[in-house]
Amino acid sequence: MDDQAHQDEASPEMQARVRASFESQGLMGHLGARIAHIAPGRVRITLPHRPEVTQQNGYFHAGATSAIADSAGGYAAFTLFPEDTSVLSVEYKINLLAPALGDHIEAIGTVLKSGRTLTVCRLEVFGVRGEERSLVATGQQTLIRVEARPEQ
């Protein structure tokens, strides 16, 4: 993906498709995660700080951090898939680089290679406090394109 593609917004139709799928995810709703930006091959998801998504020391829990990273990558891939398809994670690896602190965390999924069947994404998670951003996790993910099935 070139840098220009990452700056553009996805089409209104793709935005609606991604948002509708995202809103149907029980976990993202339970966590309080929101899609902040959708571009071709790139999606940003935010998660506000609140006690329910932290661990015993007050940091964002690694599970919450990983979950929004997984969804950001999945939806980044989904933006490049044909309309009659859906996306599933095959695998992902996350390196937690620092305790996740801030008013919210922000996960960015970026497509590195979109294939006919498999797509590979870079995952980054930042702790955000005001204008200050700090990389707290990074990873890579493989996704598979599957035929769409009705949402459950």
Give me the domains of the chain, ranges plus CATH numbers: 3-147 (3.10.129.10)
Supply the pLDDT for residue 57.
96
Say which amino acid occupies 47.
L
- Give pTM, 2 decimals: 0.92
Supply the pLDDT for residue 1.
44
- Provide the percentage of residues in the chain whose pLDDT is more than 90: 91
pLDDT in tens, 93-151: 999 999 999 999 999 999 999 999 999 999 999 999 999 999 999 999 999 999 987 65
Q: What is the mean pLDDT of the chain?
A: 93
Contacts 24+ apart (CB under 8 A), 54-60: 57/99, 58/101, 59/99, 59/100, 59/101, 60/100, 60/101, 60/102, 60/105, 60/127, 60/136
pLDDT > 80? residue 11: yes
